[in-house]
Amino acid sequence: MSDAGVRLAGVAARLRAACARAGRPEDAAALVAVSKFHGADAVLPALRTGHLRFAENRVQEAQTKWPALRERYPHVELHLIGSLQSNKAADAVRVFDVVQSVDRPKVATALARAMDREGRRPRCYVQVNTGAEGQKGGIAVGEVAAFVKECRETLDLPVAGLMCIPPAAGDPAPHFRLLRSLAADTGLPGLSMGMSGDFETAVAEGSTLVRVGSAVFGARPAGPAGAAPATELP
């Protein structure tokens, strides 16, 4: 098996063990392999192991990488985990099965319109800025309840849960706990939290979906696969 295949199996085993330690079923948290910046050649070994759940952080990179891979692996479930520009909502609805980065009202509205037009309804996660970081996207903690209500009731978006990216420094556990309590308050079952460095902590705090990149694919190349110029980065 390839390196990525071996590492993927190792992460999956750690994830099952973390679920068991938390007294949860072994499959309580699903693994999303984050393939951003890696080309199709790097993704194929993971697909060959039978893994089907992947994530990208840019619409354009997903559009160049995934259609050909999907022809060979039609049951892939592709997640968007990066900030979405509202003018790319229709493209996102066409290429992704799950949008984890619903992080502002304009994006929610654009997604709802695009879903009506495209006749596809990717499941959505509301991204919460648990650390109140100025440079980071996401709904402020105090606005989550109203925003989720608007997404579900006014826009009829298929909201599956909440997502967070804790601040890079410091203990992520309080952020995971906060997200869990917000999800409980809003009656949402899905909790997308946990990355390569902290997914076991996230599982202990109730994660149902972990987003793991470098622990599966190794260090990331410097920019998107298919080389969008750096000036396009958000």
Tell me how far, at minimum, the Cβ of 194 lies from ligand PLP, in Å. 8
Q: How many whole angstroms separate alpha carbon 143 and alpha carbon 30? A: 27
- Using an 8 Å Cβ cutoff, are 63 and 78 in contact? no
In the bound state with ligand PLP, the residue whose beta carbon lies nearer, of 47 and 212, is 212
The minimum distance between CB 26 and ligand PLP, in angstroms, equals 21
Please identify the residue of the shown chain whose CB is closest to the bound ligand PLP: 213
The structure tokens listed for 80 are 């968007």
Q: How far is the CB of 197 from ligand PLP (least distance, A)?
A: 6
First CA to last CA distance, the chain: 36
Nearer residue to ligand PLP within complex by CB, 47 or 193? 193
How near is the Cβ of 86 to ligand PLP at its closest, in Å?
A: 19
State which residue, 132 or 146, has the beta carbon closest to ligand PLP.
132
The two structure tokens encoding residue 144: 């989550």
The distance of closest approach from Cβ of residue 153 to ligand PLP in the complex, given in angstroms and rounded to an integer, is 27
Nearest-angstrom CA–CA distance, 132 and 149: 21
Sorted by sequence, the CB contacts under 8 Å of residue 163 that are 6+ apart come out as 81, 100, 101, 125, 126, 127, 128, 179, 191, 192, 193
Q: Using CB under 6 A as the criterion, which residues of the chain lie in contact with ligand PLP when the complex forms?
A: 34, 36, 57, 81-82, 165, 195-197, 211-215
Please say which residue, 182 or 193, places its beta carbon nearer to ligand PLP. 193
